[in-house]
Amino acid sequence: MGKDSEYYKQLEEKKIKTYRTIISTLPAYAVKYLDDKKRSSQINTAINYAHDLTYFFEFLKETNPILKNTEIKDIPLNLLDQLSFDDINEYQDYLELSTGDNKHKNIGKSIDRHMSALRGMYKYLCINRYLSNDATAGASKRKKVNKAIIRMDATEVHRFLDVIEDSALPSNHQSQICKKTALRDTAILTLLLHTGIRVSECVGLDIDDIDFQANTIRIVRKGGDESILYFDAEVHEVLESYMDLERPSYMATEDEQALFLSNRKKRMAVRSIQEMVQKYAKVAVPNKKLSPHKMRSTYGTALYKETGDIRLVADVLGHKDINTTAKHYAAIEEEHRKQAARIKPY
């Protein structure tokens, strides 16, 4: 059923409600920018940016005595025109602060996203002549630090799946639960590791999205577009086993459409799969902090090593920008270093 399914309709309605709730507290000029972002991008980005801009306006209230008794939505536009790059740098310092409750603990990517939202708003307001001064133009830019990409090699992948098959978990209680959910958990994790789909795309799958004749799944990408992906014989086998032997026990009604169901007989949530990955990873690869996204990285890296085709990897993973693939999945630099070690230069 794809994006026309009841699940995606309800999900979209929930996002719209969340967006409207947040923007109701923001100034009208900020809402104009966010509405423009929502039209040109996707509602997820608009929601994140709305949260980020809320931080900025809270900063203005906390640091400017004049705004002490002013509601955020009433902060005047001309105040933004009066800010300088020093004020924006102070805001970046504010984001790095760690208070007792970690309210403003925002580092690395989080700060970059906050600043992206703020720079975008200033740019929009200046282009449309609401403002004459872009205070973000001269603000400092954080030095980007490249972190090692966490992923599993082939041996670790097999060990990871073996933990489920053997129910080899620390406590007897966990092992007993694992035995009851083994086919479902194996199907989910094998699907993630063999197709590279996002966990959000996985939980949105319905029965009608699986075609065992063509060995395909129909998914709804992050931006709302539908895509057809092919899967191999191993995925075919584990999906069929789960659907025939274990899924019926999770079904509350005969007409249940969700592919992956929880013990509560409801569609599995993203958080549930994240916790599942962490549970098995603690046993299989205790030295690596795994998440469903790291499994996506594992697949992307393996696919690149086998094909050497970064455009193919970008297409399968649903990346619109090939640089994202190169940065997060392909492990090109590591492969180049290995090649260099095999060369005899003298």
- 267 band by pLDDT with thresholds 50, 70 and 90: very high
**Element housing 297 (H / E):** helix 292-307
Task: Strand 210-211: give its sheet, edge to edge.
Answer: 210-211, 216-220, 226-230
The 10 Å Cβ neighbour count of residue 252 is 10
- 31 band by pLDDT with thresholds 50, 70 and 90: very high
**Exposure string (b/e) for 126-156, b if CB count within 10 Å is 16 or more?**
beeebbeebbbeebeeeeeeeeebebbeeeb
Question: What backbone torsions phi and psi does residue 267 show, to the nearest 5 degrees?
Answer: -55, 135
pLDDT attached to residue 101: 47
Query: Is the predicted pLDDT of residue 98 greater than 80, yes or no?
Result: no
Which of 62, 94, 74 is CA-nearest to residue 24?
74
- 104 band by pLDDT with thresholds 50, 70 and 90: very low
How large is the average pLDDT for residues 69-86?
94
Give the SS3 label for residue 146: coil
Write down all domains in the chain, each with its CATH number in brackets: 16-127 (no CATH), 154-341 (1.10.443.10)
Please list the active-site residues. Answer: 198, 222, 293, 296, 319, 329
How large is the average pLDDT for residues 244-254?
95
For residue 206, list its beta bridge partners: 258
pLDDT digits over 279-313, tens only?
999 999 999 989 999 999 899 888 888 888 888 88
CA distances from 328 to 14, 196, 243, 298, 331 (A): 30, 13, 33, 10, 7
Give the SS3 label for residue 267: strand
Give the SS3 label for residue 274: helix
Do 255 and 203 contact (CB within 8 A), yes or no?
Answer: no
**Assigned token pair, 164:** 């489920």
pTM of the model: 0.82
Residues 6+ apart with CB under 8 A from 101: none
- Longest Cα–Cα distance of the chain, Å, equals 74
